[in-house]
């Protein structure tokens, strides 16, 4: 079984979110954050509303172009 892909987490993964293996805690946190964002949470900046998602975004292939444009990675 894989380790959680969230930075500094040493728990075992229970599944994946956007191809990133996550433990139960981080899976629940990121799913909740995503649901808020996609159901009306867009009144905040992306960086403020998607703090947890951005912790794993560098591991998500389709997030690379956004990170490159926004953060010059």
Per-residue pLDDT, averaged over 12-21, amounts to 97
pLDDT, greater one: 45 or 20: 20
E strands along 3-71, which residues? Answer: 15-17, 20-22
Q: Structural domain boundaries of the chain?
A: 15-71
Report the percentage of the chain scoring pLDDT > 70. 90
Whether residue 56 contacts residue 21, with contact meaning beta carbons closer than 8 Å, is answered with no
**Cα–Cα distance between 64 and 42 in angstroms, integer?**
21
pLDDT at residue 73, as a whole number: 58
pLDDT at residue 24, as a whole number: 98
pLDDT, the chain, mean? 90
Q: Which candidate, 66, 63, 53, places its Cα nearest to that of 5? A: 53
Whether residue 18 contacts residue 56, with contact meaning beta carbons closer than 8 Å, is answered with yes
């Amino acid at each position: 079984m894989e380790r959680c892909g969230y930075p500094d987490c040493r728990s075992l993964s229970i599944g994946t979110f956007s191809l990133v293996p996550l433990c139960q805690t981080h899976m629940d946190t990121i799913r909740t954050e995503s649901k808020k964002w996609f159901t009306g949470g867009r009144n905040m900046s992306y960086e403020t509303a998607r703090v947890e998602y951005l912790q794993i975004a560098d591991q998500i292939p389709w997030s690379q172009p956004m990170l490159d444009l926004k953060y010059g990675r």
